[in-house]
Structure 1
Amino acid sequence: MSDAARLLRLLSLLQTPREWPGSELAARLGVTPRTVRRDVDRLRDLGYPVEASMGVLGGYRLGAGAAMPPLLVDDEEAVAIAVGLRVAARQPVAGIAEASLRALAKLQQVLPSRLARRVSSLTSATSAPVSHASAVDPGQLTVLAGAVAARERVRFAYVANENVVSKRHVEPVQLVALGRRWYLLAFDVERDDWRTFRLDRVSSAVATGARFAPRVPPGGDAVEFVTQRMYDTAPTFQARAILGLPVELARARLGDFAGELIAVEDGSCSWCSPEDTVEYLGFRLTSLGCEFVVEGPEELVEHLREVGERIGRAVGWTGGRDGGGG
């Protein structure tokens, strides 16, 4: 066993959550206890916090350091991590979404084909509650995440709003989890302009191998740029409604979307919301858990009517369209 192979084997043993007597490590590695001590010092030089305790019950263990060192995992652990990350990719969570994609892209890059097949089989055979983002293929996510990290051009098929399919050749800059969807911010090579793509409309993504120089998104912030593009392409409105809640309770339930709340004599309150799409305004109203009456705009009233009728059909109820929103 070479020195490098022995060092990796020692690291793998120490990453098991237990304390290893020096004699047992020496026997496992086929070396002397003195060599074990020297190898432990080499790991410490590389930044691994290997702790040692003296006495009959003493030994070596890997402790928690100030920074996260590289980890070694066996086949079963690699499969478990990959499956977990692919499932998590279907439900982007604020703060960890892009990190989970980067981790999955790194793992899949070095995953042996025999393990990649196991991951694919387990993922396809596993069901889990998923959000609206479940329409995104985790395989497409990882291809694009790897291309973003490597600054590599990508080709894919894209379905636009009018259900027109087009072929795209882009320089991917950043993946953005916004609301319940994934978006790709990229520079479209053939159109010579920045574009934002919904990932549930992307298919057949393939990295071309062609590298590109780093690009800075307009304004310098990819998330802000994508967010603004979403508002630019969808009309926004300000909801006006009477909520069957006291002001303080309404404020607590609305959080940072509280807008303007004014108390009404009967214990209710009037609400003037921040601007957003009718879909999101309707979602916030129906998730408040109270009675409400929408005073405007008419677009929101119509949206709530349509949602109400859809729900009514789902539960076998039919009703007229008379009456206001709420």
Structure 2
Amino acid sequence: MPGGAPAIDAELLTVVAAACRDHERLRFTYGTRDGVVGEREVEPLSLVHTGWRWYLVAYDRDRADWRTFRLDRIDGLPVPGFRFPPREPPAADLAAYVSERISAAPYPHQVTLRVSASAAELAARIPPSAGAVEPLDAGTCRLRTGAGDLAAIPGYLAQWDYDFVVEEAPPGLMERLARIAGRFTRAVAES
């Protein structure tokens, strides 16, 4: 479909899914979001589809930590290797884990908000790649998100019809929000 996600080769999905099922290590060439290409050796746990992209949740043996890998960044077909004993997963809900990792990792400016909306309502407006939504109660949720440019955050928040409280913010964000709030208040008063 136009504007859709990158196409993933069925054979790639099959090889990765089989390695997850059979607990077989995978070796593959991977390109990061920064354009760095290198060999990775992982212990695959599960495939997760975000509605937009396929991700592999795997234990990266070289980095000794859990990682998420976009399948469209794997070059060629992974090579299965030795079997391994399964590790304890990094989270009970792998879809939420992937959502949190992909919504926060690419952004240098991180922000956490308490939003006056149900988690389901906000999650319907926020794609998993833009933020991780966590329910707090029936009418309140927490959003962890970020931006590449600090100036983009106020404009993003201004689009909502929800009240929110900033729980964690990068330096300079609160001052920027206060300046913009003052500008809008003056515009309303003088109009």
Whether the TM-score (by the shorter chain) exceeds 0.5 is: yes
Amino acid at match of 1:175: L
For residue 200 of structure 1, give the secondary structure of its aligned residue in structure 2: helix
Shift of 1:206: 2.7
Residue 297 of structure 1 corresponds to 154
Q: CA deviation at 1:222?
A: 2.1
> How much does 1:224 deviate?
2.4
Give the number of the structure whose residues are more often helix, by fraction: 1
| Structure 1 residue corresponding to 2:52, chosen from 169, 172, 180 | 180
Quote the Cα distance in structure 1 between the aligned partners of 2:52 and 2:147: 16
Which of 190, 201, 206 matches 2:62? Answer: 190
- Kept in 1, the 8 Å contact 2:4–2:52? The answer is yes
Amino acid at match of 1:155: R
2:54 aligns to what SS in structure 1?
strand
Counterpart among 67, 78, 85 of residue 206 in structure 1: 78
| Alpha-carbon distance in 2 for matches of 1:298, 1:179 | 25
Q: For the structure 1 residues 275 and 141, does the alpha-carbon distance in structure 2 shift closer, same or farther, using more than 3 Å as the test?
A: same
| Structure 1 residue ranges without an equivalent (≥5) | 1-128, 239-250, 260-273, 280-295, 302-326
Q: Distance in 2 between matches of 1:221 and 1:232?
A: 17
Opposite residue 154 of structure 2, the aligned amino acid is P
- Aligned AA for 2:99? T
- For residues 88 and 145 of structure 2, what CA distance do their matches in structure 1 show? 28
Match of 1:154 in 2: 26
TM-score normalized by the length of structure 2: 0.56
Q: Which residue identity lines up with residue 169 of structure 1 in the other structure? A: E
Aligned residues: 133
- Compared CA separation, residues 299 and 224, structure 1 to 2 (3 A): closer
User: In the alignment, what sits opposite 1:31?
Assistant: none
Q: Classify the secondary structure of the residue corresponding to 2:56.
A: strand
Corresponding residue SS for 2:86: coil
Distance 1:192 1:218 in 2: 12
1:256 aligns with 2:121: yes
Counterpart of 1:135 in structure 2 is 7
2:36 alignment partner, one of 156, 160, 164: 164
Contact 1:151 1:212 in 2 (8 A): yes
Q: Distance in 2 between matches of 1:298 and 1:217?
A: 37
Give matches, 1:81-120, under 5 Å: none
Deviation at 1:275, TM superposition (A): 5.8
Do 1:151 and 1:173's aligned partners in 2 also have CA atoms closer than 8 Å? yes
Kindly state the Cα deviation for residue 219 of structure 1 after the two structures are TM-superposed.
3.0
Q: Distance in 2 between matches of 1:130 and 1:196?
A: 26
Counterpart of 1:297, as a letter, is P
For 2:8 and 2:157, how far apart are their aligned partners in 1? 28
- Check conservation: 1:156, 1:206, Cα contact below 8 A: yes
Work out the CA distance in 2 between the residues paired with 1:194 and 1:275. Answer: 20
- Deviation of the 1:130 alpha carbon: 6.5
Q: How has the CA–CA distance of structure 1 residues 237 and 189 changed in structure 2, closer, same or farther, with 3 Å as cutoff?
A: closer
Report the structure, 1 or 2, having the larger strand content: 2
Question: Is contact 2:104–2:146 with CA below 8 Å preserved after alignment?
Answer: no
* 2:94 is aligned with 1:222: yes
Could you say what secondary structure the match of 1:195 adopts? strand
Query: Are residues 138 and 191 of structure 1, via their aligned partners in 2, closer, same or farther at CA, if it must alter by over 3 Å?
Result: same
